Chains A and B, each alone.
Chain A
Amino acid sequence: MFKLMKYEFRKTWMTKVILLGITAAAQVLFLFGLYGDHDNALGLSVFLLTMLAIGGVLVIGLESVITLHRDMNTKQSYMLFMTPNSSYAILGAKMLECGLSILITGVFFFGLGALDISLLFVKQGELNKLYEMIQQMIHTINEKITIDASGIASFLFSILAGWIGTISTAYLADVVSSALLNGKRFNGVVSFLLFLVLDWAMGWTAQQLTASITSINQSLVWSGVISLAFSAVMYFATAQIMERKLSV
């Protein structure tokens, strides 16, 4: 499994290097704007870093789905499927590599964001007042919400786990398309609809099961746990279809 993961990482590392390079440039711009008192540069860098955080996590997930598609539908599929590895191991390596990359990227950008906000607070003390004002505003809208470390961590976990769940669903839809619907009419439409229905079902299930939880933080955490459990179900279903039906 570790060897398979190594090669999964090797297939996608260039995107990660590019992402890291652009992030480093945006961070330099941020520091230049902050300590050189260039407000425009500061504003632009904050925008760039926010987009990179969101876009980075999205791109890593999407690239993983594209890689799986290529690994089933081009001649490079032989590299994977002629090795003595089961579909469970092959898919497991893909999901683990992708899931870990998403989590690490999310935590990395969260850490970077926390660092940059701290630097802003240190440099511009009056931002403390802004933070308190935002806290008060959110508290007025919904008194259950408070911005603290555990709240942010719960939110981050919920979002990242939800995205991993969505990617797992995309894996299943893609495998159904390649293994069961290959060569059939409306293959793409049917598999896309399957993806939409399953993704909606995951969200709906999480919503139903967390409806009675009053604490927002707990609700977010449980929602993330349900997404991960859903990913596990998708994994077994997908691997089973690959094992029984996939021809490359």
Chain B
Amino acid sequence: MILESKEVTKLFGSKRAVDGISLQLEKGHVYALLGPNGSGKTTWMKMAAGLIKPTSGTVAFEGAPVSIESRKHVAYMSTEPYFYAWMTVKDVGKYYQDFFEDFSYERYQKLLQKTELTEDLKTRALSSGMMAKLKIAVTLARDARVYMLDEPFNGIDLLARDDIRACILEYATEEKLLLLSSHLVEEMEAIADRAVFIKEGRLVENVDLDDMRSQRGESMADRYREIYGHTEG
């Protein structure tokens, strides 16, 4: 078990963003974390990244609660832009190199080439699509054990999406766990082998997609419609 969430709840004032989620995620899989806006996906990911403290319950990385140690092995990519405004693309890489031992600047440069970003670009001048590519490049340039990418395809055009999907899949090895949240269910279907459905802060199910297809005859999109059909109207 590489990531485990035990009865995790997060309250924001009186709002229950995450409500008692217990979940076990294993290495060697690509998980799709699914749910509509406000279902608690991002909050749960941020708790697993150690950015948000749970109100109750624990998220553990390899058996120990998430901590400074787990941040060395968990690469998290937020859906929002978060780089300092004064940074260039090069500064972003240098920053990650300074703080993450598993970061490879060489790999970062290769990923930048694929995404057609240049090191002299100012982050504040990037379009949303370019920013999304930069976030992915700098996150995937780490040799982490867990990758959590929140909405990695947001703002990225179809062709670039193919490149990014290929980059992500390069990391899908036996030793790593990839967890991706997205609204683009069809997109995720081509990448993930397991799906975690969250609704109103609660876990609906953590399912193997091959089993779901063979045993229930359902695709991920079918199941998504089934679970969220009423809430999404």
Tell me the A residues contacting B by CB distance below 8 Å.
Answer: 3, 6-7, 10-11, 75-79, 81-86, 183, 244-248
Contact = CB atoms under 8 A, between A and B. Distances in A.
Given A84-B69, A86-B68, A183-B12, A79 B53 contact: no
Given A245-B53, A246-B53, A248-B51, A85 B99 contact: yes
B71 A84 contact: yes
B78 interface: yes
A81 B84 contact: no
B84 A76 contact: yes
Contacts of A248: 51-52
Interface residues of B, number: 25
B13 A247 contact: no
Nearest to B15: A183
A151 B85 CA distance: 44
A84 B100 contact: yes
A11 B95 CA distance: 13
Interface in B35-55: 46, 49-53
B186 interface: no
Nearest to B91: A10
Q: Is the interface of B mostly helix, strand, loop or mixed?
A: loop
Contacts of B83: 76, 79
B80 A75 contact: yes
**4 tightest CB-CB pairs across the interface, nearest first?**
A83-B99, A247-B52, A78-B82, A84-B71
16 contacts: A3-B98, A3-B99, A10-B86, A11-B86, A75-B82, A78-B78, A79-B83, A79-B95, A81-B50, A83-B100, A84-B72, A85-B68, A86-B68, A183-B13, A246-B53, A247-B53
Contacts of B85: 76
A178 to B, nearest CB: 12
Contacts of A83: 71, 99-100
